Structures are given as C-alpha cells and as structure tokens.
C-alpha cells in the first residue's frame, strides 16, 4: 500500500535517513531553491525546510531528487504497474507467470477515484499571499507553484472520465495580477487542458480549474505522465498509489483531492489573458513574459498540517530529470506498441527534452536490396512526430536497428558515432520548415513556431570519424578556435551573432564558402559554430545543450558544398549547425553569487549540509 498523503511519506523517509530537516532560517526568495539545486546535484536527500523566512508552512524539496528514492517511494506498486504494462505488450506472458493475472484485477480496482466526506484539505482556508512565495531565479517575475497539479474537466462532457490533471506553471504573485484574487496559468501547446479551454471558448463558458499542491506523491507523477488519450491521470495516480484517490465534492466547484495539502479553486475567463513570466525554465533559459490565461481565485484551502512541496528547474539535469527517468522506466516498454517498427525513442534531457529525439527503428523495406537505405525509417519518423509531446521535437535522429542490434539511444555518444559514420547529408536530411515547437524554445521564428529536421541513417559505414582537431586548420575572418566534442563533431568559435529572427546569417554562409574548395574537415561530418568551442566540447552535456537548444533547423543548418535538387536541400561536405546565442534568444539562467556563497556556508563544517554538498 502506497502513501495516502505527503505526511506519511515524509515520516517514513525521515525514519529511514532519506530526508534531512533544515532548521536554519532561509528565504524562499532564491535561497531555498539554490539549496535544493545544489543538494540535487550532489545526489543528496529530500529536504524539509522547517523555518522558512516569512512563511508559516514547512517546505519540502528534492523529494524526487534521485531515481532510487523515487523508486522507493512507489516500491509497493511498481510490480503491479509493470505487470499491467507487460500484459498490454504480451498477453502470452500469463502463460509463463499465471499468478500475474491475480494481481492485475486487484490493481485495476484503484483506477477509479473514491468519493469521500473526510477531506483534510478543507480543514483551513487562507489567501494567496499567505502561501509560500518561492522565487527560484533572480529574473523570475514573481512567486510560482513549481509542483502544481492542475485539474480540469471537459465542459462538454464533465466528469472524471474526461478529466485532465497536468503540471502547468502557476504564478501566484507579481506582474499585474490582483493580489489574492488572480494567478497566472501557463500551459504549453499539446497539453490536455488546451482541449478543455477550447471547449469553454466555444461554449462561451468559464473554465473551472482546481490547483492541488501536495497530497499523495503519486498525484505529482501522474500530472507529468504522457498517458494515452482517454486515460485520466487520476486513474494512473491510483495505480501508482496502490489505492483509489479520494476526492471530495464542494457545491459549485470541481472535485478536490481530499488528501492534498493545498487547493486553489477558481475559474478561467476563456477570452481573457494576462502577462505571465518571466520564469527560469527547464531548457536552461528564462521563458519570457507572454499573454496566458489567468485564474480568478474563489477559495484557497489547506490541511492543518500542510507541507508545501516544490522543485526548481533549470539547465538539465535537475530534479525533473529524475521524474523523466522514472517515467521512462514505466512507459518505455510501451513505445513499440504505439508506433509499429520503433525499438526505442529517447527525448534527450540534457538537450532540454523536446529539442532532440534519438530513435532506433526497423528498416525492412526492400530487404533484398544490395545496400540498405532509409525508407521505412522515414515512415516511422513521421509517425513519431505525430505522437503527443514528441510532436514538439526539433531534431529527430533515427537509426536502423538492423545495422547495430546492440545500439541504444541512451548511450548518446555511441548513438552519434553510429549516425555520423553512416549519414549521407546529400539525401538524409528531411525538413519541416514552418511548424510548431515547444513553447519554451526561443530558437524558432516565434512563440510556438519553428522547424524540424529528420536525420535518418541506414546501411554500411561510409566514413571514419576523427577525434583530433585537423593540424594547421585555418579559419575565415572572425572565426577561431576549434575543439572536438565527439568523434566526428567539431566545435568552432564564431563571431557574436547579429542574426534576425527567422533569417539565415550571411556570416555562416561565408564560413561554408570559405571551405568549399578546402578539404579541411576530413573525419568531421558535423561542425557546430558556437560562442565558446572550449565550453561546448568540455562535456557531452555541454555539446547537447548548446547545439540543440540554440538552433532552429530551417535557419541554422548550413552545409559545405550545399546544393538543391528540386526542392531537396543537402550538402556534399560537412553539415554546419549555427548554435550561437542569437539576439532574439532568451537569456540563460545564472546563479546569484551572494546566494551561492550562503549555500557554501551551509555546506561548511558545522553547517546543516556539511558532508552533503
């Protein structure tokens, strides 16, 4: 049986030495978030801040900070969920383990939420200004709820069966929000709440919204799960909790999670938006101020012993990385059942998740051909880009399973080596030049607007990759300094970008022209132009972050000896990606030096974090 609420979880983790109480008075503005990030990076325990400055509620951070701790929290139900996943993949598994059929129906009983009158969350009422005012980064536009569970139901077909529980950003102070009356609701495209919002607009109705904070730990995981269309997140939360999620009904409001620590109830005017942001986000940059819906708050409830869970996000890896790894463990085996022919898909966390997908799939078309070429891979790539949040990817690299059956997408270095040994830039690039990308990605032509490229490789090795900077390499004016990121990948420092949004840059075209008659990049099929080649090459994660968060395929991919054949673009020499910071990009997240010094003091001898950070 899993935890019914956050209080049970905290007590258990503390008794097992997996949670540390921090009694030092720390400010929810910048300080507490900085501590959580540092402890996460050190692989440290969950943190309960019992004395936050100007805050009456204890704050819980880093709860899901390690994959091992996340597995432990849900240890009682993981086997049941794996059983149900396995049954979907292979019903014949019952012949090997017939007792599993006994478990499956028992777990299925937890799919439906339970209606209850016992609701600790309704014990007390408060106001928005009395909630913890956590500000994670110096340029954030106000305080945000960073682990919200936003609950809505279909206006056309209300009820649990058409509900959505999502982790959408909620700003509770700042900007022009009316104090204690309004909060910002930022949801990205391709989110379940968007359908409910569209229905409300069509009907001319208000959209009712409840924001839960805390409660059963399974609720937070369910809110970020990429579930199949039609499966309510509350059902998955029940499976993961090992018990039905108790909900309470209040007159005129949506159902409320009875064991939640907090609940904000309100309505969204479907025709009204307000400025929301900035906010330091998980790509490692600020998402800027834009118009988003706002919730008109009607009530704020909390339980008497309420705990406020939070996280901070920033350049990966962060705590949401552990979320992603746990979700992949649960859902990874289902991917081949969703898209025929797919073996693996990896949304690369170090590149901000949505910018970069790596995939392995079958290439079975024309099996009698003398040489394998990407054909079925392209069919499968289109199917991948039509799946839920995967549709927001900018770069999809897809390899043929038959070429290397032991290759895995989570070994990024090996995967890139495999691709770059085989790719033919003259025919293996396939663009979508005007389409949707992640709301948080500012590399494109506008908010939610950008491009995609599929890079497919199949067949034998075409080239040998180099791992050393070419001797005597010369550079055109304003360029200089080169470092090897990976075998076959060379980073080159370029001049400061003056590129306009949605336009290509003549400076990079001139770079490519400079080398058109010079055979300088033998063994380097990929060149990355960046602001600091040494930084990009210092670590694999640096290369992934710089290259794929700072480039838009349609405007930032160039080629040496490029050519057009009909409407198809390719190049005979190296592919060049312009991954410099552009004038229209959002600023990167930078820690406050004074705050970091205070965190250092907490880790000094005698400090509460000594031996942890």
Residue 322: name the closest of 74, 575, 49 by CA: 74
Query: How much is the average pLDDT of 111-120?
Result: 91
The predicted pLDDT at position 328 comes to: 85
Element (H, E) at 398: strand 395-400
Q: Mind listing the pLDDT tens digit for each residue in 195-242? A: 999 999 999 999 999 999 999 999 999 999 887 666 789 988 998 999
Question: Three-state secondary structure along 204-223?
Answer: CCCEEEEEEECCCHHHHHHH
What pTM did the predictor assign? Answer: 0.93
DSSP classification of residue 497: P
The percent of residues in the chain predicted with pLDDT above 90, rounded, is 80
Whether residue 100 has pLDDT greater than 60: no
Contact 136, 166 (CB under 8 A): no
Burial of 460 (C-beta count, 10 Å sphere; 0-12/13-18/19+): exposed
The residue count of the chain comes to 613
Residue 444 has which token pair? 């494109």
Q: Does 22 sit behind a cis peptide bond, omega within 30 degrees of 0 on the bond before it?
A: no
Query: How much is the average pLDDT of 476-487?
Result: 95
Give the residue, 103 or 578, on which the prediction is more confident: 578
- Where do the domains of the chain lie, and which CATH numbers do they carry? 109-310 (2.30.110.10), 340-457 (3.40.1670.10)
Whether residue 81 has pLDDT greater than 60: yes
Q: Would you place residue 98 in the very low, low, confident or very high pLDDT band (cuts 50, 70, 90)?
A: low
Q: Any bridge partners for residue 430, and if so which?
A: 454
Contact 180, 129 (CB under 8 A): yes
Contact 257, 245 (CB under 8 A): yes
Residue 209 has which token pair? 């919204």
Q: Would you place residue 333 in the very low, low, confident or very high pLDDT band (cuts 50, 70, 90)?
A: confident
Q: What are phi and psi of 227, to 5 degrees?
A: -85, 155
The predicted pLDDT at position 94 comes to: 46
Q: Mind listing the pLDDT tens digit for each residue in 448-462? A: 899 999 999 999 999
Query: How much is the average pLDDT of 430-435?
Result: 94
Contact 595, 35 (CB under 8 A): no
Q: Mind listing the pLDDT tens digit for each residue in 516-525? A: 988 789 999 9
């Amino acid at each position: 049986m899993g935890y019914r609420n956050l209080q049970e979880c905290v007590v258990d983790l503390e008794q097992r030495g997996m949670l540390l109480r921090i009694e030092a008075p720390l400010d929810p503005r910048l300080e507490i978030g900085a501590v959580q990030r540092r402890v996460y990076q050190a692989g440290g325990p969950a943190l309960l801040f019992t004395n936050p400055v100007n805050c009456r509620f204890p704050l819980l951070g880093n709860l899901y900070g390690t994959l091992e701790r996340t597995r432990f929290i849900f240890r009682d139900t993981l086997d049941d969920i794996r059983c149900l996943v396995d049954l979907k993949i292979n019903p014949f598994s019952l012949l090997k383990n017939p007792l599993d059929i006994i478990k499956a129906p028992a777990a299925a009983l937890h799919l439906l939420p339970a209606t209850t009158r016992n609701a600790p969350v309704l014990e007390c009422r408060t106001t928005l200004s009395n909630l913890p005012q956590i500000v994670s980064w110096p340029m954030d536009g106000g305080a945000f709820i960073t682990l919200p569970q936003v609950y809505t139901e279909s206006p056309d077909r209300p009820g649990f069966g058409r509900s959505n529980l999502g982790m959408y950003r909620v700003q509770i102070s700042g900007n022009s929000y009316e104090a204690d009356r309004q909060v910002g609701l930022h949801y990205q495209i391709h989110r379940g709440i968007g359908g409910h919002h569209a229905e409300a607009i069509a009907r001319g109705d208000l959209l009712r919204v409840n924001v839960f904070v805390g409660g059963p730990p399974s609720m937070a995981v369910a809110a970020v799960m990429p579930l199949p269309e039609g499966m309510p997140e509350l059902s998955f939360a029940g499976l993961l909790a090992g018990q039905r999620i108790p909900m309470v009904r209040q007159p005129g409001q949506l159902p409320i999670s009875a064991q939640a620590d907090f609940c904000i109830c309100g309505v969204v005017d479907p025709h009204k938006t307000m400025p929301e942001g900035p906010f330091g986000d998980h790509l490692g940059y600020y998402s800027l101020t834009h118009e988003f819906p706002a919730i008109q708050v009607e009530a704020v409830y909390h339980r008497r012993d309420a705990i406020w869970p939070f996280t901070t996000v920033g350049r990966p890896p962060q705590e949401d990385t552990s979320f992603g790894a746990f979700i992949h463990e649960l859902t990874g085996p289902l991917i081949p059942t969703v898209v025929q022919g797919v073996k693996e898909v990896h949304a690369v966390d170090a590149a901000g998740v949505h910018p970069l997908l790596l995939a392995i799939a079958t290439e079975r078309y024309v099996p009698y051909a003398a040489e394998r070429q990407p054909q079925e891979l392209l069919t499968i790539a289109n199917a991948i880009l039509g799946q839920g949040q995967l549709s927001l990817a900018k770069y999809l690299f897809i390899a043929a399973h038959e070429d290397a059956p032991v290759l895995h997408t989570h070994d990024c270095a090996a995967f890139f080596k495999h691709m770059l040994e085989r790719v033919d830039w003259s025919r293996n690039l396939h663009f979508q030049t005007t389409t949707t990308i992640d709301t948080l990605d500012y590399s494109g032509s506008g908010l939610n607007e950008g491009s995609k490229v599929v890079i497919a490789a199949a067949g034998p090795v075409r080239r040998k990759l180099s791992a050393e900077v070419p001797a005597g390499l010369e550079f055109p004016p304003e360029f200089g300094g080169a470092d090897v990121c990976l075998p076959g990948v060379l980073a080159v420092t370029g001049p400061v970008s003056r590129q306009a949004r949605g336009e290509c840059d003549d400076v990079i075209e001139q770079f490519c022209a400079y080398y058109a008659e010079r055979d300088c990049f033998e063994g380097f099929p990929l060149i990355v132009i960046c602001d600091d080649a040494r930084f990009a090459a210092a670590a694999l994660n640096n290369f992934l972050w710089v290259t794929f968060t700072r480039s838009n395929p349609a405007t930032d991919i160039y080629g040496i000896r490029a050519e057009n054949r009909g409407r198809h673009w390719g190049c005979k020499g190296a592919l060049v990606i312009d991954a410099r910071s552009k004038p229209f990009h959002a600023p990167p997240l930078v820690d406050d030096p004074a705050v970091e010094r205070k965190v250092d003091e907490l880790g000094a001898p005698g400090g509460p974090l000594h031996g942890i950070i």
